[in-house]
Amino acid sequence: MLCAISGEAPQVPVVSTKSGSVFEKRLIEAYIAEHGKDPVNGEELTTDDLIDLKSQRIVRPRPPTLTSIPSLLGVFQEEWDALALETFTLQQNLAQTRRELSAALYQYDAAVRVIARVTQERDEARDALSNVSVGATRTGGEAMQVDSTGLPQAVLERIESTQAALSKTRRKRTVPEGWASSETISTFKPTETSDPLYPGGRALSINATGEMALVGGVDGVVGVYSLTQKSVVQTLKTDGAVTGATWAGNKAVVGSSTGSVKVFENGAEVASFASHAGEVTAVTVHATGDIAASVGVDKSYVLYDLATNTVVSQIFCDAALLSVSFHPDGHLIAAGGADGQVKIFDVKTGAAAADYAMSGPVKCLFFSENGTYLAAVAAQSTTVSIWDLRSSKETKVLDTGSQIESIFWDYTGQFLLTGGPSGVTVQQYSKASKAWSEPLRSAVPAVSVAWGSAAQSIVALNEAGAITVLAAQS
Per-residue pLDDT of the chain (474 residues; tens, 9 = 90+): 788 888 888 888 999 999 899 999 999 899 999 888 898 888 999 999 999 988 666 555 556 666 678 878 888 888 888 888 888 889 999 999 999 999 999 999 999 999 999 988 888 877 776 554 443 333 333 334 444 457 888 899 999 999 888 888 776 778 888 899 999 999 999 999 999 988 888 899 999 889 999 999 889 999 999 999 999 999 999 999 999 999 999 999 999 999 999 999 999 999 999 999 999 999 999 999 999 999 999 999 999 999 999 999 999 999 999 999 999 999 999 999 999 999 999 999 899 989 999 999 999 999 998 889 999 999 999 999 999 998 889 999 999 999 999 999 999 989 999 999 999 999 999 888 889 999 999 999 999 999 999 999 999 999 989 999 999 976
Residue 225: per-residue pLDDT: 93
Residue 137: per-residue pLDDT: 34
Report the amino acid identity of residue 427. Q
> How many CB atoms within 10 Å of residue 325?
25
Secondary structure of 285-347 in the HEC alphabet? ECCCCCEEEEEECCCEEEEEECCCCEEEEEEECCCCEEEEEECCCCCEEEEEECCCEEEEEEC
Residue 398: per-residue pLDDT: 94
Euclidean distance between CA atoms 362 and 394, whole angstroms:
15
pTM for the model: 0.68
Asked if 224 and 214 count as a contact pair (C-beta separation under 8 A), the reply is yes
Question: Distance from first CA to last CA of the chain, Å, rounded?
Answer: 130
Residue 356: per-residue pLDDT: 94
Residue 289 buriedness (CB in 10 A; 0-12 / 13-18 / 19+): middle
Structural domains for the chain: 1-59 (3.30.40.10), 153-169+179-472 (2.130.10.10)
